[in-house]
Amino acid sequence: MADLRRPVLFLFSPDTPGSFAHVAVINGTARGYVQVPGHTTFHIEPATMYFKNPSFHTVIYPETRMNLDPYRHRRNADMGMCGNDAAAEWMRWHARSAIDPQPDNRARRYRRETEKDSDKSHNKYSAESNGSPRQRRSNLGEKNTCYLYLRADPILWEHIKHNKYNTILSNERTQEEILAFFASHVSAVKNIYSKTDFRTYDNSVRYMGVDFLVLRTSIMTMENQDCNGKNPTRYCNRNIDVTNFLNLNSMDQH
């Protein structure tokens, strides 16, 4: 979270070289971000995300004031191990007292034999040892666009509708917020990949100017997935991780 107690002077000129901005306006308020090269990224969010009935409509804060540590919510390991401190100390003591045994004669003989063979086989995977060279692959050319199908699960719907702001949003407003969320992430990815030069070590394959285009979106709700009914879908599972979410999507008829 950012420290919102201190005011931030926000001055931005669209003529700043290399700058980039993505802003969505919903219900009269803006949300998005502005990247200023050599400085930082400024995040723009509705004030209702942080305050109840605020007298102002927008909060702008720099990324330099955010705690970006991904492990900040995890318990400190020095605080204990849930009653297993004695067992942990016992394991550390045995690890420190371990003695590396000397290899027996058979192990030494095996090592000598493998050292002899290594002189013959160390280059068996080289180009000289494998016939004709590989065919060079062509670049992306004009086919540089990745087409996306984005889906929102019912847990995201519930979070934005009930928890993201200090009020319960309408279904229409919730849908607009999710679509703006999609657009913001796709915009950030496009900004990164369009400037990245992907190439192999030998430069035989090179990808530049990769773009992304959203062709289709779908938004799952608590209602259309029957999360509170008798036949909830597996997408209603609140503990589903990314891997299982992708697996479920792969089994759907798209």
AA letter at 224: N
Q: Is the confidence at residue 6, as pLDDT, over 50?
A: no
Q: Is the confidence at residue 153, as pLDDT, over 80?
A: yes
Query: For residue range 172-195, what is the model confidence (pLDDT) as tens digits?
Result: 999 999 999 999 999 989 988 888
Share of the chain above pLDDT 90, in %: 31
Total-model pTM: 0.63
Mean pLDDT over residues 37-54, rounded?
Answer: 88
134: left (phi over 0), alpha (psi -120 to 50) or beta: beta
Terminal-residue alpha carbon distance, the chain: 37
- Mean pLDDT, the chain, integer: 77
Burial of 21 (0-12, 13-18, 19+ CB in 10 A): middle
Among the ranges given (22-26, 66-70, 123-127), the one the predictor scored with the smallest mean pLDDT: 123-127
Rounded distance between C-alpha atoms, residue 106 and residue 101, angstroms: 14
The secondary structure element, H or E, covering residue 180 is helix 171-193
AA letter at 178: I
Phi, psi of 93 (to 5 degrees): -65, -45
Rounded distance between C-alpha atoms, residue 147 and residue 166, angstroms: 35
Query: For residue range 25-34, what is the model confidence (pLDDT) as tens digits?
Result: 998 888 999 8
Place of tokens 């779908």: 218
The secondary structure element, H or E, covering residue 44 is strand 40-46
Q: Could you give the count of Cα atoms lying within 13 Å of 149 in the half-sphere of its Cβ?
A: 7
Tokens of 101: 């045994």
| Whole-Å CA distances, 71 to 9, 40, 68, 238, 239 | 30, 22, 9, 21, 19
Q: Is the confidence at residue 129, as pLDDT, over 70?
A: no
